[in-house]
Structure 1
Amino acid sequence: MKQENIAGKAYDSKLLSRLAKYISPYKGIFWISVVLTILLAAVAPALPLLIEHTLDRYILSGDYSGLNKMLIAMMALLIGQTVIRYYHTLTTNTLGQSVIRDIRIQIFNHITNLRLKYFDNTPIGRLITRTISDLETIANIFSEGLIQIIGDLLQLVVILGVMLYTDWQLTLIVLIPMPLMIVATYIFKEAMKSAFQSVRLWVSNLNTFLQEHISGMGIIQYFAREDQELRKFKAINKEHRDANIRANWYFSIFFPVLEIIMAISLGLLVWYGSKQILGDKISPGVVVAFIMYINMIFRPIRELIDKFNTLQMGMVSAERIFDVLDTNEFTPNNGTYKPETVRGEIEFQHVWFAYNDENWVLKDVSFKAEAGETLALVGATGAGKSSIINILSRFYEIQKGTILLDGVDIREYDLNFLRQTISTVLQDVFLFSDSVINNINLNNQEISKESIIDAAKQVGAYDFIMRLPGGFDYEVQERGATLSSGQAQLISFIRALVHDPKILILDEATSSIDTETEVLIQSAIENLMEGRTAIVIAHRLSTIQKADKIIVLDKGEIKEMGSHQQLLAIEGYYKKLYDLQFNSAGI
């Protein structure tokens, strides 16, 4: 399985700057989060100070009245901190979810506009990882990462400031083990960076593997490959497990080390603080407060490490998401031409095309289909038939030559207008998990149900649709799993008809339909073609004998062109294909 380079930095100013742009619509929530973060840091040392004051002034002197007042003050402080923390968590999570909602919309819109060549080279599972799990990791930058890190650092600064102000000598004693913590933190940070990169890699690989194999489950079962594919999945799953175990192992070492360092700091505090108390140099309340300060210093440090890794993972995910967003594999839409009417005249002039700019799929192809004509393309697999319809709709760009529609270069047309002018019925019909009617109109509310019903009757699909539970509201399962291939194909015919194209493309459109059904809809197809320019790709030559023009392709080149009778008279490629098919059929 292809590996990904997902190396990243915990702090990347360019990535953070790009992410910051998504905060602009939510500046109010952002600044509320910042203010609440500062408030939490500011009130952090308040409780130890109150306890110090209570112990030294009221408890040791036996002032119960003052003690009660201080207890009420402590209670009010804790309630206040709880309220601030609640709104802080709420606002940071709201900010994070709002930002990823906007990014997810942007990335989905970006992906749907990429040219098909991009999807030829990119696993779908990887794009799903980008759109879902990577974006959730970015959300953590806002809810658990950057703002929280700033808050913890502010809290450390405030607490250390109070400690130094209270007793700088005792503070220095407490901080003696700190270099050990810095060294341990650095080692842990580097180890976790590698571990989390590995985790993200294998999450992506798992998603890719599952998406491909669930989509291709039929092939796996047809060829009894369940055991072999299970072994592959176990291997990937084992790598994913091992990567997570390594990450957890580093945590299991680091946090006990922190506890040991904290215990050393407490031991030094008790040793030195006791001597100072016995020497009447400090009060017991100061030592008690410092015990709390130590916990308040070490807790943010422990959380800083966790949040640091959250930030690091977020940076890795952000880098991968922006890598998709920075992909400029779009079909150029510089054209603005939108004529009032389209006649449907198609002309290829010396067209050369290759998918990888090296191996020519079409070589110097030239032909013309008059408006309203039916043009048939025949030839062996790989001859270039499907490539012709792909470049006509500009799913791929040609390297040389010109393609004209009504005498105008197709690159001068507005891209959406061009594609709306063409309807294609493919051999491999794709149906969404949605109702029959939404699979036909593709959620275009301008297409009336009456026109859909009329189109269904024209192609002979009305009766079978009405037999479905709910009729046109029947919920089709993913890829039309609950329909026969012929039924799915009929729905695709209705889809093409209701969009009223001027150019109709049938790419092996009757290959999934049995002979009886094919005869039933043949007249409907002829009605569908009436008044439209049609390009038909078919292996069964019986379906194209009435075509106005037949083009015979071989290895990307036009070998013959003419009507059915003309090509038979030539006794060339077409005659051989014809004799081969009809002789094998016993005709």
Structure 2
Amino acid sequence: MSQQATNDAPRKANARPEHAAQARRGMGHGPMGGMGATEKAVTFGASAKRLLGMMRPERNLIIFVVVISALATLGNALGPVILARGTDLIFDGALGGGIDFSALGTVILEALAVYVVSGLVLWWASFLINDIVQRTVYRMREQVATKLHRLPITYFDRQPRGELLSRVTNDIDNIAQSLQQTLAQMLTNIFTVLGVLAIMLWLSPPLALVVLISVPLTALVTAQVMKRSQRRFVDMWRSTGELNGHVEEAFTGHSLVKVFGRQREVAAGFASKNEEMYESSFKAQFISGIIMPSVFFIGNLSYVAIAVLGGIWVAAGTMTLGAVQAFIQYARMFTQPITQLASMTNLLQSGVASAERVFEVLDATEQTVDATTHLPEPLQGRVEFEHVAFSYDPEKPLISDLSLVAEPGSTVAIVGPTGAGKTTLVNLLMRFYDVDAGRITIDGVDIAAVPRPELRSNIGMVLQDAWLFGGTIRDNIAYGRPEATEAEILAAAEATYVDRFVHSLPDGYDTVIDDEGSNVSAGEKQLITIARAFLADPAILILDEATSSVDTRTELLVQNAMNALRGGRTSFVIAHRLSTIRDADTILVMEDGAIVEQGSHDALLEHHGAYQRLYRSQFAGGLDDEEEAA
């Protein structure tokens, strides 16, 4: 059977009022109301280790970068020793018989060569690190995208869309920025500290000890500040996600906001979220910003001590002026990387906080693994619900002990008030959710044992809210069957009356649908989605209020096309307009998750029960008047 498009059924499924409201009720989610998703405390070390572990595929390149960075840093570290010789040449020459400019020129050329080569190598290392980071982030995006396809619908019920989008976009971008701005400097700074320390110990162990005293003080200050600022960075990115969610929700529903005059409330909600983001961002940056001035202060104390002690030893003749000059340079070279490392903690904390938010997505529980049982071929389309029970909330049962049989080629209409469980029924058939008890079979095969892609490839679904993606009308029709020929696409378009309006568009079937689908009407969008299901040629059809967006004349045309499509196929039709399901083989009347009546249109009217009450409510003139008009 051909692969078919389900019209973005998962997106629609998790928006149904029968469960979406229940799933979000505990989260404070309402119209333009933002989110209330909680954040667990970040474990900095474990998350940072995992983030670095994602670079493992690039380990050979990383080793090479480490080696050339170490060599380049060593070259930089030798610079002051070389220049110290020049200082001593000048000082000794001034006191003695003159300056040896030839030797001084050699020293300058040596220093210049060392700095130029080291600089070029460090630039190369930085370039390679950027490549490593971008490859790592590329894989992370791939992992997140793949993960999202493996998550159950219930996960998206619990995750506000704006918050999830923020994790997939903003947080991953922040990880890339943080790694790119810190890794190269961290490598250089670490090697600089180690190389300079070795040279200082060689030049003067006592002065080296003075410099080393600043290290534990710097580490203590940095650790204390990081401990207090890390939680603030988590709050900052959480509030960023909430603000994005609010903005996305407000812009998506901007027409509704204006219709009900809620602009002021939406603006107030934005101001509240913006204020929360400002507060969390300010606190995170302010606390982490304490590190830099603290480290500078500690470093300046060590400079004072070196200058005083060095001056005394030069006067005593135990140390040359060039050595003191070199040592002062080394002290700065030693403390500057430590200062830079400390200043990078805010970037590291921010990146790790974002990484943990992404890891939460990657660690989310996936839907159950599909079994390997296959549906019979050719598929007849006999669908049976056997004592099915299901609820979105364990404390609020929705469907209990529901049984029904849809024979091959029959049309089963499902009617009932909002929240009765109509859409839930077809969501279970599509395995967007798994039953709590009982089972659903197709041609005697339990669908729980059938791989989801195989199951859904045999079911065509058209939803109440038409979904089109950015692309041409031709592409949208062929979405569920990309291998379809041009003739097959045109045949589906003609059968669903898409062909009638396409020729009025400037580019015909090559007309590009924009992001919002605003260049075609709601009815035209619905016809395109119906043509998509036509082309897929499924064995089972699900029509969820498929004609609700079209006018009466178009509805009649679509109904005629649906009648032709349903020929020989098992069809489930969810309908509010009872006039559209008169010819159904079986009409199921659902209330509170149970089937309270079933039968044909005429039989149910004669029963004088729930169906008749629904029918009368739609025809205010009375049942007899409507039947006469019909």
TM range (shorter): over 0.9
- What is the DSSP-based 3-state SS (H/G/I as helix, E as strand, rest coil) of the residue aligned with 1:260? helix
The answer on 1:55 being equivalent to 2:92 is: no
Structure 1 Cα separation of the partners of residues 450 and 507 of structure 2: 41
Between 425-434 and 178-187, the greater mean CA deviation after superposition? 178-187
The counterpart of 2:432, out of the listed 388, 395, 402, is: 395
The answer on 1:269 being equivalent to 2:301 is: no
Q: Which amino acid aligns with 2:153?
A: L
The answer on 1:184 being equivalent to 2:216 is: no
- 1:147 positional shift: 6.3
Q: Is the 8 A contact 1:149 1:308 kept in 2?
A: no
Structure 1 residues 402, 190: closer, same or farther in 2, change over 3 A? closer
The corresponding residue for 1:351 is 388
The answer on 1:114 being equivalent to 2:151 is: yes
- 1:177 positional shift: 4.8
The counterpart of 2:60, out of the listed 19, 28, 33, is: 28
- What is the DSSP-based 3-state SS (H/G/I as helix, E as strand, rest coil) of the residue aligned with 1:285? helix
Structure 1 Cα separation of the partners of residues 346 and 481 of structure 2: 45
Structure 1 Cα separation of the partners of residues 596 and 289 of structure 2: 71
The counterpart of 1:488, out of the listed 525, 529, 533, is: 525
Between 26-35 and 306-315, the greater mean CA deviation after superposition? 306-315
Structure 1 residues 352, 40: closer, same or farther in 2, change over 3 A? same
Q: Which amino acid aligns with 1:517?
A: T
Q: Deviations over 1:13-45 (max 9, x none)?
A: xx4554455334323322222223322432231
- 1:255 positional shift: 2.4
Structure 1 Cα separation of the partners of residues 43 and 454 of structure 2: 44
Between 541-550 and 320-329, the greater mean CA deviation after superposition? 320-329
The corresponding residue for 2:41 is 7
- 1:431 positional shift: 1.7
Structure 1 Cα separation of the partners of residues 259 and 332 of structure 2: 62
The counterpart of 1:567, out of the listed 604, 608, 621, is: 604
The corresponding residue for 1:416 is 453
Q: Which amino acid aligns with 2:77?
A: P
Structure 2 Cα separation of the partners of residues 327 and 31 of structure 1: 33
Q: Which amino acid aligns with 1:319?
A: E
Q: Is the 8 A contact 1:426 1:506 kept in 2?
A: yes
The counterpart of 1:546, out of the listed 583, 598, 604, is: 583
Structure 1 Cα separation of the partners of residues 386 and 290 of structure 2: 70
Q: Is the 8 A contact 1:337 1:413 kept in 2?
A: yes
The corresponding residue for 1:340 is 377
- 1:341 positional shift: 1.5
The corresponding residue for 1:450 is 487
Where does 1:522-533 land on structure 2 (aligned, <5 Å)? 522-533=559-570
The corresponding residue for 1:247 is 284
Structure 1 Cα separation of the partners of residues 429 and 213 of structure 2: 74
The counterpart of 2:343, out of the listed 301, 306, 313, is: 306
Structure 1 residues 186, 348: closer, same or farther in 2, change over 3 A? closer
The counterpart of 2:142, out of the listed 102, 105, 111, is: 105
- What is the DSSP-based 3-state SS (H/G/I as helix, E as strand, rest coil) of the residue aligned with 1:360? coil
Structure 2 Cα separation of the partners of residues 126 and 327 of structure 1: 15
Q: Deviations over 1:20-73 (max 9, x none)?
A: 553343233222222233224322311111111221136643111112122222
Between 87-96 and 353-362, the greater mean CA deviation after superposition? 353-362
Structure 1 Cα separation of the partners of residues 480 and 581 of structure 2: 33
Where does 1:197-346 land on structure 2 (aligned, <5 Å)? 197-250=234-287, 252-346=289-383
- 1:270 positional shift: 1.8
The corresponding residue for 2:96 is none
Structure 1 Cα separation of the partners of residues 216 and 440 of structure 2: 71
Q: Is the 8 A contact 2:481 2:536 kept in 1?
A: no
The corresponding residue for 2:9 is none
Where does 1:494-533 land on structure 2 (aligned, <5 Å)? 494-533=531-570
Structure 2 Cα separation of the partners of residues 224 and 488 of structure 1: 28
Using CA pairs below 8 Å that are at least 6 residues apart, which structure has the higher relative contact order? 2
Q: Is the 8 A contact 2:72 2:117 kept in 1?
A: no
Structure 2 Cα separation of the partners of residues 305 and 6 of structure 1: 25
Q: Which amino acid aligns with 1:47?
A: G
Q: Is the 8 A contact 2:73 2:118 kept in 1?
A: no
Q: Is the 8 A contact 2:402 2:594 kept in 1?
A: yes
Q: Is the 8 A contact 2:480 2:536 kept in 1?
A: no
- What is the DSSP-based 3-state SS (H/G/I as helix, E as strand, rest coil) of the residue aligned with 2:414? strand
Between 350-359 and 381-390, the greater mean CA deviation after superposition? 350-359
Between 174-183 and 351-360, the greater mean CA deviation after superposition? 174-183
- What is the DSSP-based 3-state SS (H/G/I as helix, E as strand, rest coil) of the residue aligned with 2:387? strand
Q: Is the 8 A contact 1:410 1:418 kept in 2?
A: yes
Give the share of equivalent positions with the same residue, in percent: 34
Structure 2 Cα separation of the partners of residues 116 and 250 of structure 1: 40
The answer on 1:66 being equivalent to 2:103 is: yes
Aligned positions, number = 585
Structure 2 Cα separation of the partners of residues 18 and 252 of structure 1: 26
Q: Which amino acid aligns with 1:246?
A: K
- 1:385 positional shift: 0.7
Structure 1 residues 276, 20: closer, same or farther in 2, change over 3 A? closer
Structure 1 residues 441, 60: closer, same or farther in 2, change over 3 A? farther
- 1:215 positional shift: 2.1
The answer on 1:156 being equivalent to 2:193 is: yes
- 1:449 positional shift: 2.8
- 1:397 positional shift: 0.7
The corresponding residue for 1:39 is 71
Q: Deviations over 1:283-308 (max 9, x none)?
A: 11111112211221222112111333
Q: Deviations over 1:418-454 (max 9, x none)?
A: 0011111111112222222222222753122321221
Between 146-155 and 302-311, the greater mean CA deviation after superposition? 146-155
CA RMSD of aligned residues (A): 2.1
Structure 2 Cα separation of the partners of residues 473 and 6 of structure 1: 49
Structure 1 Cα separation of the partners of residues 299 and 610 of structure 2: 86
Structure 2 Cα separation of the partners of residues 306 and 147 of structure 1: 14
Q: Which amino acid aligns with 1:48?
A: P
- What is the DSSP-based 3-state SS (H/G/I as helix, E as strand, rest coil) of the residue aligned with 1:558? strand
- What is the DSSP-based 3-state SS (H/G/I as helix, E as strand, rest coil) of the residue aligned with 2:103? helix
- What is the DSSP-based 3-state SS (H/G/I as helix, E as strand, rest coil) of the residue aligned with 1:480? coil
Q: Deviations over 1:459-490 (max 9, x none)?
A: 11112123223222222122423322111111
Structure 2 Cα separation of the partners of residues 332 and 254 of structure 1: 49
- What is the DSSP-based 3-state SS (H/G/I as helix, E as strand, rest coil) of the residue aligned with 2:140? helix
- 1:584 positional shift: 4.8
Q: Deviations over 1:76-134 (max 9, x none)?
A: 11211221111111111111111111111111111122221111111112221221222
The corresponding residue for 2:175 is 138
Unaligned runs of 5+ in 2: 1-34, 94-98
- What is the DSSP-based 3-state SS (H/G/I as helix, E as strand, rest coil) of the residue aligned with 1:583? coil
Q: Is the 8 A contact 1:45 1:158 kept in 2?
A: yes
Structure 1 Cα separation of the partners of residues 331 and 551 of structure 2: 79
Between 561-570 and 50-59, the greater mean CA deviation after superposition? 50-59
TM-score where L is the length of structure 2: 0.88
Structure 1 residues 249, 317: closer, same or farther in 2, change over 3 A? closer
- What is the DSSP-based 3-state SS (H/G/I as helix, E as strand, rest coil) of the residue aligned with 2:513? coil
Structure 1 residues 436, 60: closer, same or farther in 2, change over 3 A? farther
- 1:388 positional shift: 0.7
- 1:176 positional shift: 4.8
The corresponding residue for 2:10 is none
- 1:146 positional shift: 5.4
Q: Is the 8 A contact 2:291 2:343 kept in 1?
A: no
The corresponding residue for 1:407 is 444
Structure 1 residues 415, 177: closer, same or farther in 2, change over 3 A? closer
